[in-house]
């Protein structure tokens, strides 16, 4: 053992761990603000390393996505992605014995397994997968106008959002692009105005709102779908893409959504919000939003020149 390693071993034994880490990292002291970010990242990574059916179904979708990409290639050949094929089969069989057995993505994954096996046995007759080319139901000008009409309003009519409306909007969240089709986004919502107001108090940016808060939404991601430290930013990316679907769809129903950052939260605020909406510890809260029918529209801020 080298002298450096010997000294490190001795210091690790005799020093409290937090002081040993400072020395081991070259005397770098991490400010408390960054420590919170690091602790959160490490906590969610620990959840992602635990075995569970919830983790299995997220990874099953990932493996099926990898196989699916190959099956769509025009230059497809047998013999590729065998390791992912085996992992996918294992996950599908395992999940059939869990509460997720009826999840429609399991049947989708099973279909990919069958196509993959067909490619291996009869490659000469296999045709790469290909969907129909369809014209979009709206044109560019209509979509552009919808995007520009979206507002973040903070004053609402005293009109409740129905559960049916919430369900219609919630369905769209996982239709957005997301990393490896894991579909990790989960919404936690209350349509009870009094409870929505309590939830809003947990957000430091929740100021300037009307007294009546129709609906409070938490946009979260299941940490068990992200098993590598390099994926640290993916929960925010995946969730944001899905949220945009919700906000644009809400606009077509006359509903406005105002996003509230969760970046400045403290431990007490997080604990309170998780209790109010029964949010499991494995779900990363990415941001929150208030939804409702605006009493009046805010004026849009000028957008920068993109040239």
pLDDT tens string, the chain, 307 residues long: the values are 577 777 777 777 887 776 666 666 665 666 666 777 778 888 888 888 889 999 999 999 999 999 999 999 999 999 999 999 999 999 999 999 999 999 999 999 999 999 999 999 999 999 999 988 899 999 999 999 999 999 899 999 999 999 999 999 999 999 999 999 999 999 999 999 999 999 999 999 888 999 999 999 999 999 999 988 889 899 999 999 999 999 999 999 999 999 999 988 999 999 999 999 999 999 999 999 999 999 988 888 888 888 8
How far is it, in rounded angstroms, from Cα 69 to Cα 129?
Answer: 9
* 5 Cβ neighbours under 8 A, 6+ residues apart: none
Is residue 285 helix, strand or coil?
strand
Contact (Cβ atoms closer than 8 angstroms) between residue 95 and residue 60: yes
Report the pLDDT value the prediction gives residue 189, as an integer from 0 to 100.
Answer: 98
Residue positions counted in the chain: 307
Cα–Cα distances (Å) from 126 to 44, 64, 78, 208, 238, in that order, read 42, 18, 10, 60, 33
β-partners of residue 292 are 256
CA–CA gap between residue 11 and residue 21 (Å, rounded): 10
d(CA 233, CA 251): 28
Which among 294, 306, 304 is positioned nearest to 151, based on CA atoms? 294
In terms of phi and psi (left: phi > 0; alpha: psi -120 to 50; beta: otherwise), the region of 34 is alpha
Among residues 269, 249, 261, 264, which one has the least CA distance to residue 290? Answer: 261
Alpha carbons 70 and 194: distance in angstroms, whole number: 50
Contact predicate 279/199, CB 8 Å: no
CA distance 76 to 21: 50
Instruction: Give the largest CA-CA distance in the chain.
Output: 72
- Rounded to whole angstroms, the Cα distance separating 248 from 297 reads 16
Long-range CB contacts for residues 107-110, cutoff 8 Å, separation at least 24: 108/64, 109/60, 109/61, 109/63, 109/64
pTM over 0.75: yes
């Amino acid at each position: 053992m080298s002298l450096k390693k010997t000294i490190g071993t001795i210091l690790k034994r005799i020093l409290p761990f937090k002081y040993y880490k400072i020395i081991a990292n070259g005397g770098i002291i991490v400010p408390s603000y960054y420590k919170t970010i690091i602790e959160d990242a490490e906590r969610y990574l620990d959840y992602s390393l635990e075995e569970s059916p919830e983790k299995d179904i997220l990874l099953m979708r990932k493996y099926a996505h990898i196989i699916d990409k190959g099956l769509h290639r025009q230059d497809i050949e047998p013999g590729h992605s065998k390791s992912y094929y085996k992992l996918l089969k294992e996950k599908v069989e395992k999940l059939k014995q869990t509460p997720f057995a009826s999840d429609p993505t399991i049947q989708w994954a099973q279909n990919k397994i069958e196509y993959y096996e067909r490619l291996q046995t009869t490659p000469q007759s296999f045709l790469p997968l290909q969907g129909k080319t369809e014209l979009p139901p709206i044109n560019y000008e209509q979509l552009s106008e919808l995007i520009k009409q979206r507002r973040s309003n903070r004053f609402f009519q005293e009109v409740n959002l129905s559960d049916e409306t919430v369900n219609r909007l919630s369905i769209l969240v996982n239709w957005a692009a997301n990393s490896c089709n894991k579909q990790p986004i989960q919404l936690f919502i209350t349509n009870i105005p009094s409870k929505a107001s309590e939830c809003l108090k947990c957000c430091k940016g929740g100021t300037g709102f009307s007294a009546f808060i129709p609906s409070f939404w938490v946009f979260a991601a299941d940490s068990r779908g992200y098993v590598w430290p390099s994926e640290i930013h993916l929960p925010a990316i995946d969730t944001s893409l899905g949220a945009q679907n919700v906000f644009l769809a809400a606009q077509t129903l006359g509903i406005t959504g105002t996003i509230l950052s969760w970046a400045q939260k403290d431990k007490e605020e997080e604990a309170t919000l998780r209790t109010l909406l029964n949010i499991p510890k494995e779900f990363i809260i990415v941001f929150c939003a208030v939804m409702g029918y605006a009493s009046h529209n805010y004026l849009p801020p000028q957008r920068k020149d993109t040239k």
